[in-house]
Amino acid sequence: MLTVPDYQRLTESITRLGGTSLTSAGEYKLCHYLPSWYSLLVEHTPKTLFFMETANVAAALQGKGWTGCFLKDYVKSLSTEGGSLVTSLDKIPEVIRKMKKYRGMIEGGLCAREIEDFVPATEQRHFVFKGKVHSVSDGIPELVSLAAKVIKSPFFSVDIVQRQDGSLRIVELGDGQVSDLKNWSPGQFSQIFK
């Protein structure tokens, strides 16, 4: 997965060689960095506060009355050694240390996401290619269609999950070029481009 500056260099190289990237560097950043898309879908995703890597995130969250959060950098969460769910703010430095250990860096900054009561095993990945939503399940959720309208990028993924109150929430967007398949088979994924 390329960082935003690396992707910018890639698109510049493609242009120098006479080609055109499907996804511009700006479109890549829009879907790759949570702070870039957050304001466009704020009503449909958990409340998120953004911090520089050097900030005292625990103190800031405590000052706002938070007792825990889901902590990630601008791109990824920690998917190993306990993950990114922080139920005690004093564990934040440990999660940040593990993020740096396994990812090599904190990309962009830190995102503290409010913990919502999600229904286990309801997360689904959808892809949007040239404005059209693609799904491996029956029907296209209205929330994903909304994301396809407001996010101006030619190819991206939308991950949604059901909350205990029955509403659907967007938990992540990703640039389609670097999103893994999750619940898609390679054959299903290839149908997007036909």
pLDDT of residue 137: 86
Question: Distance between CA atoms of 99 and 78, rounded to whole angstroms?
Answer: 6
DSSP notation for 92-125: HHHHHHHHHHHHSS--S-EEEE----BPTT--EE
- pLDDT tens, 65-97? 999 999 999 999 988 778 899 999 999 999 999
| 18 pLDDT more than 80 | yes
Query: Confidence class of residue 178 from pLDDT cuts 50, 70 and 90?
Result: very high
- pLDDT tens, 96-143? 999 999 989 999 999 999 999 999 999 999 999 999 999 998 889 999
- pLDDT tens, 40-65? 999 999 999 999 999 999 999 999 99
pLDDT of residue 80: 79
Q: Do strands 124-129 and 110-113 pair parallel, antiparallel, or not at all (unpaired)?
A: unpaired
The pTM (predicted TM-score) of the whole model is 0.94
Chain center to CA of 138: 23
| 153 pLDDT more than 80 | yes
Handedness of CA 162, 163, 168, 169 (dihedral sign): negative
pLDDT of residue 72: 96
pLDDT of residue 132: 97
Count Cβ atoms below 10 Å from residue 65 Cβ, excluding itself. Answer: 6
Mean pLDDT, the chain, whole residue set: 96
Domains of the chain, earliest start first: 4-44+118-193 (3.30.470.20), 48-113 (3.30.1490)
Name 134's Cβ contacts closer than 8 Å, sequence gap at least 6: 126, 127, 128, 191, 192
